[in-house]
């Protein structure tokens, strides 16, 4: 077992996930099979009940697991498919230990943090690190572990102790190793690069038994050589054990930055990669992956930028839409464009905002009208949804390229119900606080298998099939999927289009081109004759990769810059390389 632990100090949110993903990518380019685990010290069992404005996006895995957004980074960078067990939380660990205690598994012993909690953590890591995460079906060679928060946080203490114990254990086992990358922050104050925060962070780290094998210094600009030498001497590491991770034009250039500073060579020595058997086939694939990555990321954007308006309700914290942003970036790079994303608070589009905050109202509508394309992503609750409905109406009537995802599809359906089906008070059961059941004006209804009382893990989650319907051969969306009859994308919702109103919607020109395997649940719609007006119940952003972008997002970007026909032709010629086509596995 070979482990690369990425921990952090000084402050949280300094890019541990990107550095962990980049390290994994470099290992993969060397022909190694890599998996990843994210440790979140919070008591929640998973991220499903965490608000996006507090914790950012909830990333949905193929098995339906609701996880931390860093698992999205791992999948995007490494092209792997993780499970809910790849996200460890304090809630999960304590839940499993308490369940064992209730069954009597501990034979009357006093259950304590050490050894029972720490043992459970190590057992979890050891088990998950061996699970295949790619099409090879083989056990991974290396496990990247990211420890959330900062070392010294009271809630992460059991995990730190467990990882220290794991390091000692692996040191005694043959063909096993442990390498700790500690990410620290070097602030620039009055023109001076301050090393003291990093010195204290390493001191704190060593005091709990952790040993840094590499210090990754996050900073605004490249550090002076004297600063690097000072950190090395003050923290008892060699000069080449300190690397600089300064801000880049795009996070996808971080792997190249780390490679230039010799990270792969340090890892090769640190976890004894020369003793790992690598087939010529894997080595070739790793080299191909690296070349594709560099070509995509460094592609000159000769055609300028594409401006997309993201109309949402969580725009005060854009990490709430992280995967959506990344999917748009991937699609823009594919179209040789830079992405210019304009965040628009949907509440500012509503008539009440015109009276209360006219400046914000005018600015929001100016952004929407100026944009080349519009996307309305997912969300929960009624706040801001009237602005989304009005925006969907404007995009439909003004022939503006539009993509609605989950809630975005639902508000577009409500808009059609109101303005084309003469259901003037059409709404969603989710937005109707007085509703005790489905009403005639509910264009969107609660799913029968859902729960309104138990919120965690009760939605329709994970990879699900969408079957394109007979007669949908004209569909631009279907063509972007290479003309496939069936595709698989990930879901996260508890409300759906009212099946009793489908006939009325379709008479009004709304074509439900994709349905689930029963034919009763609406998965995708498209307006025929519109440049690009698509709604999806799924979240295709979760499967988008740097070198393999999501078809619906690619359609939005390509339509926005006027090259949709070219992109569709390309999709027809490369059917086997399209995300979501075929089986649920999306690596």
Q: Which residues of 26-35 are buried (b: 16+ CB within 10 A; e: fewer)?
A: bbbbbbbbbb
Torsion of CA 344, 409, 60, 180, to 10 degrees: -30
User: Which member of 391, 406, 488, 493 is catalytic?
Assistant: 406
Select from 164, 237, 153 the least CA-distant residue to 199. Answer: 237
| Residue 491 a catalytic site member | no
d(CA 210, CA 9): 12
| Residue 386 a catalytic site member | no
Encoded tokens for 436: 């005790």
Select from 61, 130, 140 the least CA-distant residue to 585. Answer: 61
Encoded tokens for 171: 């040191």
| Residue 541 a catalytic site member | yes
Pairing of strands 495-497, 442-446: antiparallel
Q: What are phi and psi of 179, to 5 degrees?
A: -135, 125
Give the Cα-Cα-Cα angle 422, 424, 427 (nearest 5 degrees): 115
Cβ(147)–Cβ(14) below 8 Å: no
d(CA 219, CA 227): 12
Cβ(377)–Cβ(320) below 8 Å: no
Residues in the chain: 587
User: Which member of 146, 496, 539, 549 is catalytic?
Assistant: 539
Encoded tokens for 365: 């509508």
Select from 217, 149, 216 the least CA-distant residue to 188. Answer: 217
d(CA 33, CA 141): 5
User: Which member of 66, 430, 489, 541 is catalytic?
Assistant: 541
Measured CA to CA in angstroms, residue 346 lies from 155, 309, 342, 365, 532 at distances of 36, 11, 12, 10, 21
- The residues assigned a catalytic role are 406, 539, 541
């Amino acid at each position: 077992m070979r482990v690369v632990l990425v921990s952090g100090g000084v402050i949280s949110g300094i890019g541990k996930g990107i550095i962990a993903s980049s390290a994994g990518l470099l290992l993969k380019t060397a022909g190694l099979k890599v998996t990843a685990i994210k440790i979140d010290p919070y008591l929640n069992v998973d991220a499903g009940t965490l608000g996006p404005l507090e914790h950012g996006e909830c990333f949905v895995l193929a098995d339906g697991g609701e996880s931390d957004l860093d698992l999205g980074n791992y999948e995007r960078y490494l092209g792997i498919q993780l499970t809910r067990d790849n996200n460890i939380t304090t809630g999960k660990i304590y839940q499993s230990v308490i369940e064992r205690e209730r069954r009597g598994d501990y034979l009357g012993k006093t259950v304590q943090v050490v050894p029972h909690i720490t043992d459970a953590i190590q057992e979890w890591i050891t088990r998950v690190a061996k699970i295949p995460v790619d099409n090879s079906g083989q056990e991974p060679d290396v496990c990247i572990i990211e420890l959330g928060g900062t070392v010294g946080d009271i809630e992460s203490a059991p995990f730190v102790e467990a990882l220290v114990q794991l390091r000692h254990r692996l040191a005694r086992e043959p063909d096993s190793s442990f390498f700790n990358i500690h990410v620290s922050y070097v602030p620039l104050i009055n023109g001076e690069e301050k090393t003291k925060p990093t010195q204290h962070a390493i001191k704190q780290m060593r005091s709990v038994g952790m040993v840094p094998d590499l210090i990754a210094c996050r900073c605004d600009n490249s550090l002076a050589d004297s600063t690097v030498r000072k950190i090395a001497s003050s923290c008892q590491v060699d000069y080449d054990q300190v690397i600089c991770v300064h801000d880049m034009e795009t996070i996808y250039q971080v792997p190249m930055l780390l490679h230039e500073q010799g990270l792969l060579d340090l890892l090769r020595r640190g976890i004894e990669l020369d003793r790992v058997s690598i087939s010529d086939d894997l080595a070739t694939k790793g080299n191909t992956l690296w070349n594709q990555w560099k070509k995509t990321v460094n592609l000159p954007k000769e055609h300028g930028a594409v401006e997309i308006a993201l109309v949402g309700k969580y725009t005060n914290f854009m990490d709430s839409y992280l995967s959506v942003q990344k999917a748009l970036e991937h699609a823009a790079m594919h179209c040789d464009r830079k992405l210019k994303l304009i965040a628009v608070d949907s509440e500012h589009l509503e008539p009440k905002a015109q009276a209360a905050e006219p400046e914000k109202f005018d600015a929001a509508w100016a952004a929407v009208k100026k944009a080349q394309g519009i996307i309305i992503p997912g969300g929960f609750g009624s706040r801001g949804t009237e602005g989304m409905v009005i925006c969907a109406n404007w995009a439909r009537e003004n022939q503006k390229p539009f993509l609605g995802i989950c809630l975005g599809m639902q508000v577009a359906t409500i808009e059609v119900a109101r303005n084309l089906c003469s259901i003037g008070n059409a709404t969603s059961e989710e937005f109707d606080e007085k509703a005790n059941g489905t009403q005639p004006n509910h264009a969107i209804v609660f799913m029968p298998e859902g729960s309104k009382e138990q919120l965690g893990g009760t939605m329709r989650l994970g990879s699900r099939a969408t079957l394109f319907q007979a007669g949908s051969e004209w569909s631009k969306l279907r063509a972007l999927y290479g003309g496939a009859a069936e595709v698989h994308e990930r879901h996260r919702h508890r409300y759906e289009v009212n099946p009793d109103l489908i006939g009325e919607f379709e008479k009004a020109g709304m074509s439900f081109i994709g349905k689930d395997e029963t034919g009763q649940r609406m998965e995708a719609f498209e307006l025929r004759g519109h440049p690009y007006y698509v709604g999806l119940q799924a979240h295709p952003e979760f499967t988008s990769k740097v070198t393999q972008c999501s078809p619906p997002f690619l359609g939005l970007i390509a339509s926005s810059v006027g090259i949709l026909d070219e992109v569709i032709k390309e999709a027809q010629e490369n059917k086997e390389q399209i995300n979501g086509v075929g089986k649920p596995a999306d690596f």
